[in-house]
Amino acid sequence: MFDGIERRIVSMWFPRLASDRVLRRQAVDGPFALTLRLDNTERVHCLNRQAEAEGLYRGMPFSEARAFCPTLRGAPADPARDAVMLETLRRWATKYCPWVGMEGADGLVLDITGAAHLWGDEPAMLADMQLRLDRAGFEARIGLADTRGAAWALARHGGGITAPGAGLAALASLPVAGLRLDEATVIALKRLGLRTIGALATAPRAPLARRFGAGLLLRLDQAAGLQPEPVTPLADPPRHAVRLTLPDPIGLTSDVMAGTARLLQELCLRLKAQEVGARVLRLTLRRVDQASCQVELRLASAMRDPARILPLFARGVEEVDAGFGIDQLRLEATQVDPLPVQQIGQAAEAPDRRDNLITRIGTRIGLDNIRRFLPADSHIPERSFVMMPAAGTKTCGDWQVPRPRPRPLLLFPPEPIVAQGTLPPTSFRWRRMRLTTARATGPERIAPEWWVEDDGPCSGLRDYWRIETHQGRRLWLFHMPQKPGWFVQGEFA
């Protein structure tokens, strides 16, 4: 008690969070374990009760686990999804109190001070928590005490509720591991005969501080309530949304655009305060019959300028069926990108008109259908570039990187021609044209990328030649020594 208020803290521990997340969606009868690759070995990450009954434990190699239990079924673990599930449980726990924080990767901590009476009393609140978690398919152990450390020890070493003001007396029989100590410290304390929290609390503090440092006594004082350890709830992610409720329904396009302009002003101010820009905007129009129409706008780059964004909504708003009228408008930025404030002055550049053009065209044909070429890190000609959506990508100047030999301005997939030998043909037919060679420069040998699997017809060594023809064509030909054949792949300007 540091502010005159008796705190009451709840600790939730999910010993099988990862396996419970998987098993609540698929029924598995028998031993089951999730595996995670550590130190180049597949090891058991989490397992159910049936697997523990077979003598399996976390951290053991999965091959050994299968040898001990041939009926063991396994699946790869996904720590990222486990973290999302824990965040979901954290949001659910806010129904009991507003102060809910994370406790490692498999636990939650709740400050229920002043909230237990809403459920009758503390045992009724904990019983409701346990019942709902059991129905959801999660095994949970819950502890309630005056301090965060004491609640943590109860949840992981027996569970239960301590009376207000009980202090360390309620934890005396619990092992010293309940003080959140590292494994080496726990083993050293056991060797000294200090196996329980009660025995540790009665031991002289000075020798303990000299041998184990101040961290051991800090954990002991936090559990006793002599040192503060507040519960810090996670902040909810910002929601970039504004709403306008109208006293009378509207139906004209000009009225809807006027309301959208008002919402854009407010939304862009919020985006500017957080130094982000909108990439995807969604305008929801609620009609008086409770039906809703949505207009989604995808932008080529992050924006927060209302004057640039508002005209882009015109085409979508014109196609909306207002019915008997619209009484509410809601504008939300469903996707945002960082857009820091930039220094401006007399030499400041005008807004990027190219992004505006891409956005205007994208509203008609889709942003994914507008593409640009970007250089790729490969010396194979047809792999030296990639096509990417123009929205969200920036132009690159790496096209001008000096190369040992000139490259054609026009590049296309290899087209076979009829020719013999390793030297360029003196006459050949290409695209229904009869061409004769006037000058040949080369060869330039390009070896395949051995780290890339390529079973195509043009895989292997290539000898490239620059061919000037009497007809004026300047072509880029290559010959394959391993798979004899000639191909045309490009044309110089």
Query: Which pLDDT tens digit goes with each residue over 469-489?
Result: 999 999 999 999 988 999 999
Q: How far is CA 372 from the centre of its chain?
A: 26
Exposure b/e, 69-81, CB count within 10 A at least 16 = b:
beebebbebbeee
pLDDT at position 404: 64
pLDDT at position 395: 67
pTM: 0.62
pLDDT digit string, tens, across residues 189-209: 999 999 999 999 999 999 999
Contact 249, 326 (CB under 8 A): yes
pLDDT digit string, tens, across residues 53-72: 999 999 999 999 999 999 99
pLDDT digit string, tens, across residues 77-103: 999 999 999 999 999 999 999 889 999
What average pLDDT score do residues 268-286 get?
93
Q: How far apart are CA 413 and CA 384, in angstroms?
A: 12
Q: How far is CA 241 from the centre of its chain?
A: 22
Nearest to 267 by CA among 243, 299, 246: 243
**350 band by pLDDT with thresholds 50, 70 and 90:** very low
The chain-wide mean pLDDT, for the chain, equals 88
The owner of tokens 């990862």 is: 18
